[in-house]
């Protein structure tokens, strides 16, 4: 131990450690003061409040990159997510979870969006809408915006959340704070459980720079060979197969694994002088070029892409802010990175690992537990009992289920499981875009095939970051005897549909579920989504036609009830907006309310501007990207846009058109974005039962009255969070999600 202690204290640079409070205090306090003054988040560099947007033509407003940049608009959304982490009204462990969410979001953003820009830059693409908006310009703006975000995230974590968690007994401890007994215990753990799986990789003429896997955490080590005096560099991967937070003897005290490894580097590099050890992390490009039309087999093409993605170019390097400057040129040159690709991080790296700490069982530091309810008409129905009872309940009238307020297991999952077990169900057709590990939906489909039912499944193997999982599910379904299609060339199948054909006394009847969210039991507890359970014959006929399109060669060009992308959805939406324009111009009320995740399609944005100018009253609830600018005089003064960020991820899409007293309501899998309307198979289902319409009306108006989690989009592109006023009612002060939880508990029923 004496030699080990001597070697550690001789380090010229601080080894990985959790910063003491105070390191970022000044920047954090300055940020919070500005927030309290304005309730707006940092202004992205692309936005120019002095720019006269109202002077632009509607075409320019709807299409210009200067008005809307998708990447920077997404970063605005991630700022709103991060706001939940430094909001004292959010329970403390939930704040920690929002740090993990923000960081995880950035990982995906760099893999996908920044990766795409990097590929454009490499291809020499520069012919964008406005002069000067080449990929390298956008990349520079992104780097500038992300650096500020990462600094505030670090300050929030280390100056606010972790010190408060320490007051509740939860601590991340630095190695140098441990006593001798704890160090000895951890040394045994290291030698027995960690050391055998570590592989130190030197970098010298005989050892080429090692491959660094995507999003892995590594230690960079600077060493001196005592025999030659030469400096060397080595890398050690922090093993993901061991807990990142090593539990200490004192309950709820943890040591970051990288500190344990750094404290025992002499066991890996015997005889060498260790100068410095620092954590770093790389992100690789997930946006790879592919030509589906030239592929002989879509499954093979996706499998090859997954192999290529492992070795794709690096697009981001995160490195400890205390890393020795001498090590950076080597990393940058070997990883082929520019200065803007390097992000210095104060404190912990790989923050998605904080999800595990946020799961510590301290209920008083978390949201109040919520148990989803079961619709009264479905209470007592089980897929293992009399399965016919479910179909009898659906025949009584359409059911609208709303997750996570209503149980996924006892509604959507029940439908698929009951269809699989019911002896009168002859065939099941299903789309799968994303689903969970150990998916009960997949298990039910396999069970149905084993019972001799005809099962056809469209598994979208191009679902980003779920390709490997979906390829595996596709193969398992095929092995079970299901008919499996992998998607359509040039299109992603994003619609959410399940169809069961049942033999009854009066002939065959089709039952179906069509929804806004994935058949994923895990995300159904954290995403808000809607689903329609029905046996409406016209919608069922549309679904059968749509499945024929997905699995065969049918080219259906019109549908009875459904709006289907890319066939007719955009055109029907434009026509519905035109109807509201006509009502307003005739002196009647024109009214539109639309809830979605993103609004980017330029043709719809332009039509909404036209509707505002005609006097149509428009409210948009857009969680993420939004191309439209509200409140511009003479252009969009009749349009309001809010974004809701709360306990659950708002994921449902609802579209309402007043239609002069004969309202049109739709739920959909599609956002009003070009990719959804042009490059994906999507479906929007009409909700025609007045009782179901009333429920959708309640969701929309409750969302519009939210004063807790709602953000208003300002004309200059910034977002300002609403603040409850004195005397606010429960909905306004608590937010729409709390209101819907209370509403569902009290009513214990769902419309229908």
Which residue numbers are catalytic?
494
Distances (CA, A) of 613 to 55, 500, 585, 608: 14, 46, 10, 9
Between helices 412-421 and 440-450, what is the axis angle to 10°?
A: 10
Q: Which of 649, 597, 712 is nearest to 39 (CA)?
A: 712
Q: Cα-Cα-Cα-Cα dihedral of 345, 347, 353, 355, to 10°?
A: -110
User: Which one-letter DSSP state was computed for residue 430?
Assistant: E
Per DSSP bridges, beta strands 680-686 and 563-565 are antiparallel
**The two structure tokens encoding residue 196:** 């055998």
Q: Do 264 and 236 touch, CB atoms closer than 8 A?
A: no
Do the bridges between strand 664-668 and strand 653-657 make them parallel or antiparallel, or are there none, so unpaired? antiparallel
Parallel, antiparallel, or unpaired: how do β-strands 639-644 and 617-622 relate? Answer: parallel
One DSSP character per residue, 519-578 reads S-TTGGGTEEEEEEEE--HHHHHHHHHHHHHHHS-------SS-EEETTTHHHHHHHHHH
Task: Provide the token pair at 405.
Answer: 């307020």
Residue identified by tokens 């009333």 is 694
Judged by DSSP in three states, 469 sits in helix
> What is the enclosing helix (H) or strand (E) of 593?
strand 591-596
What is the C-alpha to C-alpha distance for residues 380 and 394, in angstroms, rounded to an integer?
Answer: 14
Residue 454, classed as helix, strand or coil, is strand
Q: Is 484 exposed, middle or buried (0-12, 13-18, 19+ CB in 10 A)?
A: buried
Which runs of E-coded beta strand occur in 133-272? 171-172, 201-203, 217-224, 231-237, 245-247, 253-256
Among candidate residues 279, 283, 280, the one with its CA nearest the CA of residue 215: 283
Nearest to 643 by CA among 104, 80, 73: 80
Cα–Cα dist 592/657, whole Å:
5
Q: How many Å apart are CA 529 and CA 516, to the nearest integer?
A: 6
Ordered alpha helix ranges (H), 213-263 = 257-263
In this structure, the chain runs to a length of 752
Please list, in sequence order, all residues whose beta carbon lies within 8 angstroms of the beta carbon of residue 508, skipping any fewer than 6 positions away: 426, 501, 502
What is the crossing angle of helices 70-85 and 92-109, to 10°?
160
Q: What is the Cα Rg of the chain in Å? A: 28
Distance of CA 618 to the CA centre of its chain: 27
Could you tell me if 664 and 575 are in contact, meaning their C-beta atoms sit under 8 angstroms apart?
Answer: no
If you count DSSP H runs as helices and E runs as strands, how many of each does the chain have, helices first?
Answer: 24, 27
| Residues 137, 154: Cα–Cα separation, whole Å | 26
């Amino acid at each position: 131990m004496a030699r080990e202690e001597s070697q550690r204290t001789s380090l010229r640079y601080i080894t990985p450690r959790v910063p003491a409070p105070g390191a970022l205090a000044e920047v954090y306090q300055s940020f919070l003061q500005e927030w309290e003054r304005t309730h707006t988040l940092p202004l992205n560099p692309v936005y120019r409040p002095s720019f006269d947007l109202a002077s632009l033509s509607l075409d320019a407003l709807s299409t210009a990159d200067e008005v809307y940049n998708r990447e920077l608009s997404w970063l605005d959304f991630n700022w709103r997510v991060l706001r939940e982490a430094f909001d004292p009204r959010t329970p403390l462990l939930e704040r920690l979870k929002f740090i993990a969410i923000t960081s995880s979001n950035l990982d995906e953003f760099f893999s996908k969006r920044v990766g795409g820009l990097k590929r454009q830059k490499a291809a020499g693409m520069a012919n964008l809408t406005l002069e000067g908006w080449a990929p390298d310009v956008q990349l520079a703006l992104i780097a500038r915006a992300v650096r500020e975000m990462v600094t505030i995230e670090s300050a929030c974590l280390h100056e606010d959340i972790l010190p408060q968690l320490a007051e509740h007994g939860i601590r991340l401890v630095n190695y140098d704070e441990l006593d001798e007994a704890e160090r000895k215990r951890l040394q045994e753990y290291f030698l027995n459980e960690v050391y055998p799986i570590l592989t130190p990789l030197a970098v010298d003429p005989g050892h080429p720079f090692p491959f660094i896997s995507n999003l892995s955490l590594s230690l960079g080590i600077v060493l001196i060979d005592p025999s030659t005096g030469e400096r060397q560099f080595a890398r050690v991967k922090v093993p993901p197969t061991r807990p990142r937070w090593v539990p200490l003897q004192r309950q709820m005290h943890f040591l970051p694994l990288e500190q344990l490894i750094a404290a025992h580097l002499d066991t890996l590099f015997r005889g060498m002088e260790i100068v410095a050890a620092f954590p770093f992390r790389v992100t690789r490009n997930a946006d790879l070029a592919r030509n589906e039309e030239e592929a002989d087999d879509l499954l093979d093409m996706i499998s090859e892409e997954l192999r290529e993605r492992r070795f794709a170019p690096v697009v981001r390097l995160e490195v400890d802010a205390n890393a020795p400057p001498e090590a950076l040129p080597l990393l940058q040159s070997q990883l082929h990175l520019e200065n803007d690709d390097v992000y210095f991080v104060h404190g912990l790296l790989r923050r998605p690992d904080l999800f595990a700490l946020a799961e510590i069982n301290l209920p008083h530091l978390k949201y109040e537990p919520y148990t989803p309810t079961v619709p009264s008409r479905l209470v007592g129905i089980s897929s293992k009992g009399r399965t016919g009872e479910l179909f009898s309940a659906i025949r009584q009238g359409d059911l609208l289920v709303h997750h996570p307020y209503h149980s996924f297991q006892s509604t959507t999952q029940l439908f698929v499981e009951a269809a699989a077990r019911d002896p009168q169900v002859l065939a099941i057709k299903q789309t799968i875009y994303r689903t969970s590990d150990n998916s009960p939906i997949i298990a039910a489909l396999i069970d149905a095939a084993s019972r001799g039912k005809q099962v056809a499944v469209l598994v979208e193997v191009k679902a980003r970051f779920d390709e490997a999982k979906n390829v595996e599910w596709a193969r398992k379904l095929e092995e079970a005897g299901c008919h499996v299609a992998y998607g359509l060339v040039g299109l992603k199948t994003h619609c959410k549909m399940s169809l069961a054909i049942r033999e009854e006394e009066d002939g065959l009847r089709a039952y179906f579920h069509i929804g806004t969210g994935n058949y994923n039991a895990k995300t159904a507890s954290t995403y808000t989504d809607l689903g329609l359970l029905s046996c409406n014959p016209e919608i069922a006929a549309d679904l059968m036609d749509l499945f024929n399109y997905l699995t065969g060669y049918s080219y259906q060009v019109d549908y009875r009830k459904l709006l289907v992308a890319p066939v007719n959805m955009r055109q029907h939406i434009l026509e519905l907006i035109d109807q509201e324009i006509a009502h307003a111009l005739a002196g009647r009320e024109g009214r539109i309310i639309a809830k979605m995740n993103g609004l980017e399609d330029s043709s719809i944005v332009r039509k909404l501007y036209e509707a505002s100018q005609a006097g149509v009253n428009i409210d948009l609830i857009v969680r993420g990207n939004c191309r439209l600018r509200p409140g511009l005089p003479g252009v969009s003064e009749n349009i309001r846009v809010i974004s809701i960020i709360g306990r659950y991820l708002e994921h449902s899409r609802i579209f309402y058109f007043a239609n002069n007293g004969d309202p049109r309501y739709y739920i959909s899998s599609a956002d009003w974005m070009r990719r959804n309307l042009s490059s994906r198979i999507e479906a929007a289902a009409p909700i025609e039962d007045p009782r179901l319409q009333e429920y959708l009306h309640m969701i929309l108006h409750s969302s519009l009255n939210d004063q807790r989690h709602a953000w208003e989009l300002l004309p200059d592109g910034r977002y300002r969070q609403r603040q409850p006023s004195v005397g606010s009612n429960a909905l306004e002060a608590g937010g729409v999600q709390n209101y819907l939880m209370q509403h569902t508990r009290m009513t214990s029923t769902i419309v229908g």
